[in-house]
Amino acid sequence: MSSTRRRRLGAATVATAAGITLALSAATPTATAVVVSAPAKASGPSTTAATDSASMRKAITPRGLRSHLEALETLGARYDGRATTTRGYDAAARYVEFELREAGYKPRRDYFTYEASEILAESLTINGEGEPTDVPILAMAYTNSTPEGGVTGDLVAPNDTTGCSAVSWDGVEVTDQVALISRGTCSFADKARFAGEAGAAGAVVYNNTEGDLNGTLGDAQIEGAAPVGGVTQEAGQQLLAAAEAGTPVTLDIRADYFEAESYNILAARNGDPENEILLGAHLDGVEGTTAVNDNGTGVAALLEVAKNMPKKSRNKVQFAFWGAEEVGLIGSTEYVNDLVEQEGRQLDNIATYLNFDMLGSPNHIIGVYDADESKFPASAPVTAGSIETEQMFRSYFRSQKQPVVDTEFSGRSDYQAFLQNGVAAGGLFTGADGVKTPYQVKLFGGTAGELYDPNYHTPTDNLENVAVGPLHTMADAVGHMAITLAKSTREIDSPNRAPERTVESGLAAEPRR
């Protein structure tokens, strides 16, 4: 169980791939000693800041990106991951802060509290003839709890296997039974909610690819949702056979909830504070993995861009490394909520928010968030400037003769709170648990019918399974957007946005430059 106090770790030494050894001090979050041996130019401060898109992209190298990934993997392996509130998260935060200070930034920690949980029980037993068979199951974050000792009932599947709507349970008798649902199509929260509304006493979601299923329902318990856990694809087939045979199971899923504290890391280059470009990537990962693709890749891209930014530009450029994304987008949401509550609607100073989450998937796409909703409906109303942000990304990729596809504003990453509060947003994504299509194979290579990242939220999300080539492609795009918008936001202000914005107080904002 985590304390709600700020964590202060004991000393730890971490060797990075660049030959830099960080002695992580327990005294303060800023006390970081550095011993350099066989230094390499893969990481560290740039001798000459980039002045335009071309020089920025020249400065971003696969070696530099890989250096950050190796450091984050080393820390994750040492501390068993970097889930928020853990020693691994704190160690990774100090690494990010060290890299930012080396590049001339003054990073700060933005603390917040949230509801965390401790799993009290997670067991599933098939009660067949003879000895009961235990099936490994992982309770999902923010699940409701069964009674102590669990619930016993038949396994019942929805009529469409995925259970993503009330219609999925039409004509299915699941009252007081255990729902058996396939992963895919919708969020785990929706699966648990619709199963609970149909009367299920509990729910089991089985994976649609190899590996464990370690899911989350968002950032809070859902009233009426079925207590739910995840099992492997193999276990799912075993349970489907038990359901076919009418063999009952006992599901025991229980959790305790309490207040915890974590933090974001923020660092900015000087510029017009009323015309800010905010770039973000979540720093935390799920438990039990070094979380290199999700989301060490986004962190690595931001660090490489940040260290090559000029010391000052026309517009303010701020980099955010979000905490507690994996337990419900909490760090970014708390940050937005704080800005909303501040006098003068400081949130309106953000010209656009750019989100970078999973940029090195092995069976990748080059995805740009679909702000014009030409292919996917968005998870929140699309704010003025979002379409222009998408167009700017697409224009850059066209200039590089790089094909792209739309990717959905699904509500599953840190752009969500910005969209919900009227801030333009965009970003890049190489895919997670979606399935690659034959058309996407023609554009990007890879294998049709397989997940973009079969290692998503599993112990094999490591450096060996990250595609550094796509990461470099994406990082170049991040750098292009950062340095171009630092000089002027005209491309995202027009033609679809009025030259002046009206803020919530009713005062007309200055035209953006």
CATH, residue 174? 3.50.30.30
DSSP code string of 91-102: HHHHHHHHHHHH
Q: How far is CA 510 from CA 315, 486, 502, in A?
A: 13, 17, 9
Whole-number Å distance between alpha carbons of 336 and 143:
25
Which of 202, 220, 247 is the endpoint of a domain? Answer: 247
119 is a domain residue: no
2 in any annotated domain: no
Distance CA 476, CA 481 (A): 9
Number of domains the chain is built from: 2
Q: What share of the chain is helix, strand, coil (3-state, %, to 5)?
A: 30, 25, 45
110 in the same domain as 133: no
Q: Tokens at residue 500, please?
A: 């002046």
In a domain, 402, yes or no: yes
Tokens 């392996």, residue? Answer: 77
Q: Please check whether residues 91 and 201 belong to one and the same domain.
A: no
> Which of 247, 274, 290 is a domain's end point?
247
The answer to whether residue 513 is domain-embedded is: no
Boundary-marking domain end, from 190, 223, 247: 247
Same domain, 23 and 45: yes
Write down the pLDDT at residue 494: 54
What is the Cα–Cα distance from 220 to 257, expressed in whole angstroms? 10
Domain contains 446: yes
The reply to whether 405 and 345 lie within a common domain is yes
| Same domain as 472, residue 376 | yes
- Spell out, as residue ranges, where the chain has pLDDT lower than 70: 1-47, 219, 494-513
Which tokens is 463 given? 């450096």
Same domain for 60 and 185, yes or no, is: no
Let me know if residue 253 belongs to a domain: no
Q: Are strands 138-139 and 12-15 parallel, antiparallel or unpaired?
A: unpaired
Neighbours of 129 (CB within 10 A): 6
Residue numbers of the domain that contains 180: 128-247
Give yes or no: 274 in active site: no
- Are residues 58 and 148 located together in one domain of the fold? no
Q: Examine the domain organization and report whether 205 and 270 are in the same domain.
A: no
Residues 337 and 470 in one domain: yes
> By C-alpha distance, which of 101, 98, 73, 91 is closest to 8?
91
Q: Are residues 43 and 77 located together in one domain of the fold?
A: yes
The Cα–Cα gap between 192 and 174 comes to 13
370, 484: one domain: yes
Quick one: 413 and 437 in the same domain?
A: yes
Q: Which two tokens stand for residue 114?
A: 């949230």
Looking at residue 512, what is its pLDDT? Answer: 33
Residue 1 is assigned to a structural domain of this protein = no
pLDDT digits (tens, 9 = 90+) for 342-367: 877 789 999 999 999 999 999 999 99
* Alpha helices for 434-467 (secondary structure H): 438-444
Is residue 390 within 8 Å of residue 372, measured between CB atoms? yes
Sole residue written with tokens 């930014």? 309
Q: What pLDDT is attached to residue 343? A: 78
Crossing angle (nearest 10°) for helices 468-487 and 297-307: 40
- Long-range (24+ apart) CB contacts under 8 A made by 390-394 are 390/426, 391/491, 392/426, 392/481, 392/484, 392/491, 392/492, 393/368, 393/426, 393/428, 393/477, 393/481, 394/368
> What is residue 502's DSSP assignment?
B
> CA 342 to CA 65: how far, in whole Å?
36
What pLDDT score was predicted for residue 349?
95
Q: Which of 325, 334, 388, 390 is catalytic?
A: 325
Backbone angles phi, psi at 170, to 5 degrees: -60, 130
| Residue 99's CATH number | 3.40.630.10
Within a domain: residue 135?
yes
**Hunting for tokens 């920690």 — which residue is that?**
109
